[in-house]
Amino acid sequence: MNRWQVPFVWIVAALISITTATLSAAKINVFAAASLTESLKEIAAAYEKQSGDKVVFNFGASSFLARQIEEGAPADIFFSADEARMDGLDRKALIVKETRKSRLSNSLVIVVASEEGAAVETPKDLATGKVKRLALAEPRTVPAGIYAREYLQGQNLWPGVEAKVIPTENVRAALAAVEAGNAQAGIVYKTDANISKKVKVAYEVPAKEGPAISYPMALVTESKEPGASRKFLNHLESAEAGKVFEKFGFIVQNPARAQ
């Protein structure tokens, strides 16, 4: 073997190694609530380096994502912002029941613009002239909006604010409406308010007064990558992932899973 053949052998070996790794890597399609965007992207970035697998996200309103899964969209994992959407898929045998876990909780806050925002101090202010437009995720179908409506109904404020409601596609769109000045106030998750510099929290709903917010996750029955997807679900239960969720303001509900 001459001096040119040795490097060539190394190059061929390296290419074979790279090709083999690429072929063995899995692509995991995760359908997740919009409020999970930043935390899941950070968790996935570290996981991809560790596992070699690729995690692809479809973020949106949980109700819309559940409907996509019902219609056959290629999802491996569903991470919902409420139990009702997961229940709907469970009834249709579209999730693997034993993989279902409620991983996170959250809280609601009333937000106004950071600069020259509406003078809102209590929930009752939403029913006054201080607020002409109130941004909520669609209160009939989207979890964040349903939670907000339940809270307002519990405070006997819904009749006074219903006509002011601007329904949005998801919780991030409600946040954006306040940021853009299209609504004087909005009700979003605390985790959404934490990521925006254009809004400030005018009121944080106490846990004992707010709805029970739960984020369940599960493997989708028709997953094309069940093995790799189960591994990623396990990672989402880890202490490492839990720290990221907590950093973004989520309440981690289940203890860490051994890795």
Per-residue pLDDT of the chain (259 residues; tens, 9 = 90+): 555 455 554 544 444 444 444 446 899 999 999 999 999 999 999 999 999 999 999 999 999 999 999 999 999 999 999 999 999 999 999 999 999 999 999 999 999 999 999 999 999 999 999 999 999 999 999 999 999 999 999 999 999 999 999 999 999 999 999 999 999 999 999 999 999 999 999 999 998 899 999 999 999 999 999 999 999 999 999 999 999 999 999 999 865 554 4
Cβ neighbors of 11 (< 8 A, separation 6 or more) are: none
Q: Is 199 left (phi over 0), alpha (psi -120 to 50) or beta?
A: beta
The whole-number pLDDT of residue 256 equals 53
| 108-204 fold | D-Maltodextrin-Binding Protein; domain 2 (3.40.190)
Residue 106: burial class (beta carbons within 10 Å; 0-12, 13-18, 19+) = buried
CATH number of 5-104+214-252: 3.40.190.10
**R_g of the chain, CA atoms, integer Å:** 22
- Residue 176: per-residue pLDDT: 98
**Parts of the chain belonging to CATH 3.40.190.10:** 5-104+214-252, 108-204
Which element (helix H / strand E) includes 137?
A: strand 134-137
The backbone torsions φ and ψ at residue 245, rounded to the nearest 5 degrees and listed phi first, read -55, -45
